[in-house]
Structure 1
Amino acid sequence: MNKVIIFSIIFSVLLSVNYVDSALAEESETIEVEIKYTNGDRADFNGMKLIVYQDFNKEPLLEKNMSSNPDVITVPENHRYKIEVYTNGIFGDVEYIQLGNTSKKVVISIPISGGIQFEVFYKNGETPIEGATLILKSPDNSELARDVTNDLGETTRYWIQSTTKEGDYYIADVYLDEIFLTSYFPIKVQSGLAVDQKIVTNISEIVEDLITINLFDGSKKITSKDGDYQVVLLDKNQNQVASSNLSFRGDAQFSNLKTGAYTVKINSDKKIDDKLWPQNNIQIIGDSNKFSIFKNSEQVLKKEKPFYSCNCISFRLDDVQDYWLADAQIEIINLFAEKKIPLSVGVIGNLIGGDERIVSVLKENLANNNIEIVNHSWNNDALTNFDEKIQEDNIVMTNNKIFEVFGVTPKAFIPPQNLYNENTVNILKRNGFTHINSHIDRDAKTQNIDDIFLMFQQLQKLAFC
């Protein structure tokens, strides 16, 4: 792999040198490019890009984001040029010019903008969604604009470049609070016309199903026998929406809740313990009806620097378990502690607790805030092979085992074999996890850097909000 990378770098440098030598060998001239609409008005250059091809080459000679209109490009003289203009990734038009040894000007006429207003509705197609966020994107997934719907489910009207080229379209992503609802595409816009676009989501306004929330102290399910516990649901403005007392079965139940994101707050008659209950965010949209809240340990709260998202590098050690490569595991953990570098340690739940040597090392470094214990599932089997219930069992059993052995409840998860799906993410959310730690292997499917970024975009659709 190293040899391939080195070769690629050298090869790129040689190409750059050859291109510079070639450019220096030819005299250059300028082309002034002005963009106008078909009605004769000069176009707004913001978001416009010029792509220039020389002679009959299929690869662009240069790409330039316009900084004015008209704008000037400098190219070698005595060539034929094809100049394409794009607005926010949407093709406008093209012109051809034969450049001699004097400067020239070209005017490219593009279709006038079209107008589009979106109307967002619940599943029945009749009830508008107020407060939904609509993000308008170009074909390359760049955000062009965003707006929040009014009480009629309407956005403002966007005046954007019309789509004349086959394959050009816009994308509208719709969110309710932090909940992703739908991605609507392809959206076509006709020149000079104003249209309304109705978007019907797959959620209902009211979730009529019974919603159950359970509380856990480690592996122990809390019931009314353990005290008076009240589960309170708060909206995004932290206003109380509903509350339910914990029953003798340990259930706090809700029904007929409006679809949306809620904060779960726990109140009890043991005020000293209230601070140990995290305020979890849950999404009630009808796909999951059961949620579990885990009580924090004192040790979690005492951590001065908890492992949250940051502009930093996270080092992780996977597959930590009893007896297996114990010397190597211990040496790595101690080396990070010596260098004062935090380390995330992925523990396999069913394979930890019997080797006193590795357990004592983990406990010591945990007490010194050198490591974070991360849930690495129960048997290191890929969760994508199982249904949602088995996945949840593996994750919850591991958290319970880690709490039993180390006295902490992990908030981060490392998927076995780096494989997970939407069921996994939903399970993690409702069980109080805040981070998922995974990676992408660069293999035959991800040799191109664009493919890797595409995979990250796909992962973001599943990511925590």
Structure 2
Amino acid sequence: MSNLRIFYICAIAMLLSAIVPFTSVYADENQQLQIEIRYTNGDRISTYQAEYVVYQDNEKTPFIEKELEINPDTLYLPQNHEYRVEVFVNGIFSEMKKIELNEQSEKLQINIPLSGGIKFNVFYEDGETPLEGSTIVIKSHDGQEQRRGVIDTQGDSMRYWLQSTNYESEHYTAEIYFEDFLLHTVSNIKIQQAMEQDLKITIPVPAVVEELLVFQLYDSELNKISKSDGIYSISLMDKNDVSIADSEISARGLVYFSNIPSGIYKVLVMKDGEHASLWDDIEIAIIGNQNEFELIQTPVSEPVSEPVSEPVSEGFFPTFVEPITYDSTSEEYYLTCNCVAFRLDDIQDYWLTDVQVELLDLFSEKEIP
């Protein structure tokens, strides 16, 4: 074997011996961690609205934030570190557990408290009339919406199963709406694990607004509409466009209503029994907190007319001809008649009119070529 071949073999062997340990070090740098989340009764939790946050060592900034998409879930993390895993369900802190991840894969099981069930009973201020058709929205303390539902004819919501609140800072809030209008908020709601509870909510809104409701109409220039301006009336329409009440303008120029059920209404202005389109249809909340309303006519935009240029006619326009200058050794002549004259012999002069003959004689007399 030649010396050159031996040299190449030794060089390759030395290179491989350097590369293999290098790659093995970096291949083992990440290690597998399997995370499984169960309730304290041993059941695996659903992935719905569940997430976890991973911290490395004593860091306060999350190393990983992830929604739980599969349970158990698998991560590959740098080894030789301690990890703290915090679990959140429905935006509520559920449990925390630590693990040391070294040179072998690990499995971390986190057991969280059981959920609790809550049902809401929602009534008007008399505490007996159900707030039928209203919407209830349940949010975690961080403001994230967790559940939404409609109150039935008995004033009840569905029973919602949510992560129990096991720490002082953890709580839920419930918001009651008429359509998109917020009526009432209940804060600091606690849910006990593995328990069902009912929560009665009485909102400070009467079932029927008995006080007199007064509407004043204005035109676009903020002048009050009176009965002398025409027969005006107002219709209150519910969300199904069904008229709940109608009232005609009075001699004082006002429109009155009373004993109207609390709710959100669309207000239609009518003139002579027809919809007056100069007033926009607006929605108002009649819940007893406001008894006077002003409706202003929409300003009518005047059309902007643009000047129309007159068409250019293709008539005859005479052409201006600059005076022609003739150079001469004796004098200069300026022809300003813009014409050409021919001298004819006397035999042919009889073909010319008297004016033409005089013109030719003038040219001859002035010696104009």
Give the TM-score category using the shorter length: 0.7 to 0.9
Using the alignment, how far apart are the partners of 2:61 and 2:143 within structure 1?
22
**How much has 1:178 moved relative to structure 2?**
2.7
Segments of 4+ moved more than 4 angstroms: none
Say whether residues 1:259 and 2:291 are aligned partners.
Answer: no
Q: Is residue 28–residue 103 contact of structure 2 (8 Å, CA) maintained in 1? A: no
Query: Superposed, which structure 2 residues align to 1:120-199 within 5 Å?
Result: 120-199=122-201
Which residue is equivalent to 2:354? none
Query: Superposed, which structure 2 residues align to 1:55-454 within 5 Å?
Result: 55-217=57-219, 218-269=221-272, 274-299=276-301
Q: Is residue 279–residue 296 contact of structure 2 (8 Å, CA) maintained in 1? A: yes
Using the alignment, how far apart are the partners of 1:298 and 1:267 within structure 2?
18
Q: Residue 295 of structure 2 aligns to which amino acid in structure 1?
A: I
**How much has 1:244 moved relative to structure 2?**
0.8
**How much has 1:70 moved relative to structure 2?**
0.3
Using the alignment, how far apart are the partners of 2:237 and 2:174 within structure 1?
29
Q: Residue 264 of structure 1 aligns to which amino acid in structure 2?
A: V
**How much has 1:25 moved relative to structure 2?**
11
The DSSP-based 3-state class of the residue aligned with 2:108 is strand
C-alpha deviations, 1:291-335, integer Å up to 9, x for none?
1111223328x8xxxxxxxxxxxxxxxxxxxxxxxxxxxxxxxxx
C-alpha deviations, 1:255-308, integer Å up to 9, x for none?
11111111111121285x8221221211111111111111223328x8xxxxxx
Report the count of equivalent residues: 280
CA RMSD of the aligned region, Å?
2.0
The DSSP-based 3-state class of the residue aligned with 1:225 is helix
Higher share of residues assigned helix: 1
Q: Percent identity?
A: 40
Which residue is equivalent to 2:47? 45
Using the alignment, how far apart are the partners of 2:56 and 2:27 within structure 1?
16
Using the alignment, how far apart are the partners of 1:150 and 1:85 within structure 2?
34
Using the alignment, how far apart are the partners of 1:46 and 1:73 within structure 2?
19
Q: Is residue 120–residue 201 contact of structure 2 (8 Å, CA) maintained in 1? A: yes
Using the alignment, how far apart are the partners of 2:45 and 2:111 within structure 1?
9
Q: Is residue 179–residue 260 contact of structure 1 (8 Å, CA) maintained in 2? A: no
Runs (5+) with no aligned partner, structure 1: 1-23, 303-363, 369-465
- The one of the two structures with greater contact order (alpha-carbon pairs below 8 A, sep at least 6) is 2
Q: Is residue 52–residue 62 contact of structure 1 (8 Å, CA) maintained in 2? A: yes
Normalised to the residue count of structure 1, the TM-score between the two structures is: 0.58
**1:60–1:246: structure 2 CA closer, same or farther, 3 Å change rule?**
same
Q: Residue 49 of structure 1 aligns to which amino acid in structure 2?
A: E
The DSSP-based 3-state class of the residue aligned with 2:301 is helix
Using the alignment, how far apart are the partners of 1:191 and 1:270 within structure 2?
60
Q: Is residue 52–residue 63 contact of structure 1 (8 Å, CA) maintained in 2? A: yes
Using the alignment, how far apart are the partners of 1:45 and 1:226 within structure 2?
65
**How much has 1:26 moved relative to structure 2?**
8.8
Q: Is residue 277–residue 294 contact of structure 1 (8 Å, CA) maintained in 2? A: yes
Normalised to the residue count of structure 2, the TM-score between the two structures is: 0.72
